[in-house]
């Protein structure tokens, strides 16, 4: 467990988080944290931002969307049951 000290910066009281903690939680400067008190303990919880479909797709490797031979066979196959077309 790490110890930190509250400091004064301008009109605010701040706490610095150790680099190892930030790396473990995959946080960077500007990350949003939710602050709460639980049983007289201060709890900081990272806020996970919801990504849009566009953001998720932008992070994907375009090669992952390439059609495979198996895809082509499936697309060219004829219906075998009561599929709706």
Distance of CA 68 to the CA centre of its chain: 29
pLDDT per residue over 19-46, tens digit each?
999 999 989 998 999 999 999 999 999 9
At 10, phi and psi to the nearest 5?
65, -125
* Confidence tier at 85 by pLDDT (50, 70, 90): low
Q: Are 65 and 80 in contact (CB under 8 A)?
A: no
Q: Domains, the chain, ranges and CATH? A: 7-46 (2.10.260.10)
C-alpha span between 37 and 74 (Å, rounded)? 55
């Amino acid at each position: 467990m790490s110890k930190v000290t509250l400091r004064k910066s301008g009109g605010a009281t701040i706490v610095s988080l150790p680099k190892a903690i930030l790396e473990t939680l995959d946080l960077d400067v500007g990350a949003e944290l939710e602050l709460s008190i639980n049983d007289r303990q201060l709890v900081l919880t990272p806020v996970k931002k919801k990504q849009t479909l566009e953001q998720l797709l932008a992070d994907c490797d375009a090669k992952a969307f390439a059609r495979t031979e198996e895809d082509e066979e499936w697309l060219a196959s004829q219906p075998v049951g009561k599929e709706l077309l």
